[in-house]
Amino acid sequence: VVLSRQYGSEGRFTFTSHTPGEHQICLHSNSTRMALFAGGKLLAGLRLRARQLRDQVEQIQKEQNYQRYREERFRMTSEST
C-alpha cells in the first residue's frame, strides 16, 4: 500500500512511487448520497480519467524508449568515429 487516506467530498491527491512497476488504484466512496445521485457519472468520469492517465503513461514510456534508442545509436556512432 503506497497511499491509504480518507478525503473530503472534493479535492485532489498525488503520490510518488519510489519503486518501478505496475501500480493499482482502488477508490471508493462511503457516501450514500453520492451513490444514489451521481454514482454512475462519478464512475464514468473516473474511468475516463484513468484511461487518459494510462494513455499518458504509455506515451511517456514510448518517448523514454525512443530516447534510449537514440542514445544507444549516438553512442555507437561516437565509438565508431
Residues in the chain: 81
> How many CA atoms lie less than 13 Å away from 50 in the CB half-sphere?
11
One-letter amino acid of 47? R
Q: What does pTM read for this prediction?
A: 0.57
Q: What is the mean pLDDT of residues 44-71?
A: 91
Which residue reads 482502488 in cell numbers? Answer: 26
In terms of pLDDT, which residue wins out, 10 or 35? Answer: 10
Summarised one tens digit per residue, pLDDT across range 35-53 is 555 556 767 777 888 899 8
Across all residues in the chain, what is the average pLDDT? 81
Q: What are phi and psi of 36, to 5 degrees?
A: -75, -40
| Domain boundary assignment for the chain | 40-80
In terms of pLDDT, which residue wins out, 49 or 34? Answer: 49
